[in-house]
Amino acid sequence: GAGVSQSPRYKVAKRGQDVALRCDPISGHVSLFWYQQALGQGPEFLTYFQNEAQLDKSGLPSDRFFAERPEGSVSTLKIQRTQQEDSAVYLCASSLSVSTDTQYFGPGTRLTVL
């Protein structure tokens, strides 16, 4: 596709449920990033992939958060045993090559944990 796509756009989960958020980067983009954006705040870095390798996961807030990109294209962010504080918009971005290239963002997935 022309841009980064994410699905679902909206997700409502009950506390304790597991969720999986999908990101389709721009075709050919090597780098992929996940960010979390709380209401009224700027996005905060979660994790970074270069192809299938997860090079930085320093921003993942707990071991309930897990991300993968097994074939170096589509990525999935999984949150286990969701908590209310996980409610946020999860943004995915991709860039053409090395990490300092411009990042292009998808529309995000708004997660609400009840």
Partner 1 sequence: AQKVTQAQTEISVVEKEDVTLDCVYETRDTTYYLFWYKQPPSGELVFLIRRNSFDEQNEISGRYSWNFQKSTSSFNFTITASQVVDSAVYFCALSDLFTGANNLFFGTGTRLTVIP
Contacting positions for partner 1 (CB under 8 A): 33, 35, 40-45, 48, 55-56, 59, 89, 91, 93, 99-100, 102-108, 110
Beta bridge partners of 36: 44, 90
**DSSP state letter for 26:** P
Give whichever of 15 and 41 is closer to partner 1, judged by the CB atom. Answer: 41
Residue 20 Cβ, how far from partner 1 at the closest point, in Å?
20
On the 0-12 / 13-18 / 19+ scale of CB atoms within 10 A, 63 is: exposed
Q: Name the minimum Å distance from CB 16 to partner 1.
A: 26
